[in-house]
Amino acid sequence: MLIRDAADLTENDVTPKGLYLRRREFIAGAALGLGLPALAEAAPLPGRKSVYSTPEKPTPREDITTYNNYYEFGVDKDDPARNAGSLKTRPWTVVVEGECAKPGTYDIDTLLRLAPPEERIYRHRCVEGWSMIIPWVGFPLSTLLSRVGPTSKAKYVAFETLYRPAEMPGQRRAVLEWPYREGLRIDEAMNPLTLLATGLYGETLPNQNGAPIRLVVPWKYGFKSIKSIVRIKLQATQPRTAWNVSAPGEYGFYSNVNPEVDHPRWSQATERRIGEFKRRPTVMFNGYARQVAPMYAGMDLRKYY
C-alpha cells in the first residue's frame, strides 16, 4: 500500500488553481452555514483531499454509523445509533488548559473555523479485532495545540469526553470511569496524522460517531480516539485513561496497533475488515509505521503496550 507524506509530493500533487479557489468558496459557504442555529441533521462539511488518505475503499456509511463502541450510549454496538439522538451538541465548548501560553475556552463553531477542513480517509482498527476504512473530515490536532503554545513542561495531552448522564444514558451505570478520559504523548499529539474530526463522509459528525468533535489517532486501537471532547489539558504527567483504569493489564497507555503483542484475552494478529468474509493480517501501527515508528524507536513495545 502507498502511504505518502509531504516529502513525496511532486508538482502533480498540487491542487489546480481552479479547484483551490472553489474550495475557498466552499469554506466560505460552510462558515456562513455555521452561523445558523444548529440542526440535529447532518450538515454538509466537505474537506479538501489529503496525502494522508488511504486509497482503500471506504466502509459504507451505514456500517460506520450503526456499529459503534460508545459506552456512554450503551454497551452494544447498535446502542449508540439508537440512543445518541438525545445528545445536544450546541452550545458546546472545549476547554484548552494546562501547560500552555494561551489557555482558553473555545466555542465549537470557532474550532470549526480554526483550519480548513480536510478529508482524511483512515484505517480504523478496533482492539476487538475488527476494522473499517473511514472518510473523516477534520483538521490536525497540532493546529489547535500550536495556537495555544505548549510550554516546555507539556509532555502529555489529556482529553475528556462530556459527562452528562441526562443525555448519555450509559453514564448512569459505572461500566467505565466517567467521564471517559484519554491521553497522548505530546509528540503523538503533534504528529500530522493525529486529527480532530468534526465530520464523516463529507457531513458533520453523527452523534454516535462522537459529535461535535473527536480525536482520531489511526495507528492506535480505536478506544484511544476519544469522542465528544470537552476538555484538552497539556500536562507534565502521563494522564489517566478510561480503559487503562478499567483493566490495566489489558489496555496500556500507548495501545499502538501491534500484531505481535496480543491482548491477554484474544489475538491481535488478524482482523475482520467490516464487509469482508475472511480475516486479514493486522499490520504494525495499522499500516502507518512510516509516519509514526520513529516516535517509538528504542522502546520495548511489549512493555509499553
Partner 1 sequence: MGRTWLERLNYVLVLLLCLAPAAWLVWRTVQGDLGANPIETLIRQLGVWGLRLLIAGLCITPLARIFKKPRFIRFRRPVGLFAFGYILTHLSTYIGIDQYFDWHAIWKDIVKRPYITIGMLGFTLLLPLALTSFNAAIRKIGPKTWRRIHSLIYLIVPLGVTHYYLLVKADHRPPLIYGAIVALLLGWRVAAKWWPVAARAPRPSVQP
Residues forming contacts to partner 1 in the complex (CB under 8 A) are 59, 62-63, 66-67, 71, 75, 77-78, 128, 130, 173, 175-176, 246-247, 262, 265-267, 269-270, 272, 274-275, 277-279
Write down the least CB distance from residue 81 to partner 1, Å.
Answer: 10
Is 226 annotated to bind a ligand? Reply is yes
Is 68 annotated to bind a ligand? Reply is yes
- CA separation for the pair 33, 298 (Å, rounded): 48
Is 121 annotated to bind a ligand? Reply is no
- The helix or strand, by DSSP H or E, that contains position 81, with its residue range, turns out to be helix 79-83
Is 126 annotated to bind a ligand? Reply is yes
- CA separation for the pair 300, 234 (Å, rounded): 25
Is 100 annotated to bind a ligand? Reply is no
State how beta strands 195-200 and 130-140 pair: antiparallel
Write down the least CB distance from residue 73 to partner 1, Å.
Answer: 13
Q: Of 165, 168, 171, 224, nearest to 193 (Cα)?
A: 224
Find all residues with CB under 8 Å of 272, minimum gap 6, and list them.
Answer: 129, 130, 131, 279, 280
- Output 102 or 265, the one with its CB closest to partner 1: 265
The amino acid at 305: Y
Write down the least CB distance from residue 262 to partner 1, Å.
Answer: 7
- Output 100 or 242, the one with its CB closest to partner 1: 242
Decide if 107 contacts 93 (C-beta within 8 A): yes
Is 12 annotated to bind a ligand? Reply is no
Write down the least CB distance from residue 227 to partner 1, Å.
Answer: 16
- Output 156 or 243, the one with its CB closest to partner 1: 243
Q: Of 179, 214, 261, nearest to 108 (Cα)?
A: 214
93 forms bridges with which residues in the sheet?
107
Residue ranges of the annotated binding site for Mo-molybdopterin are 68, 71-72, 126, 161, 209, 214, 225-227
Residue ranges of the annotated binding site are 68, 71-72, 126, 161, 209, 214, 225-227
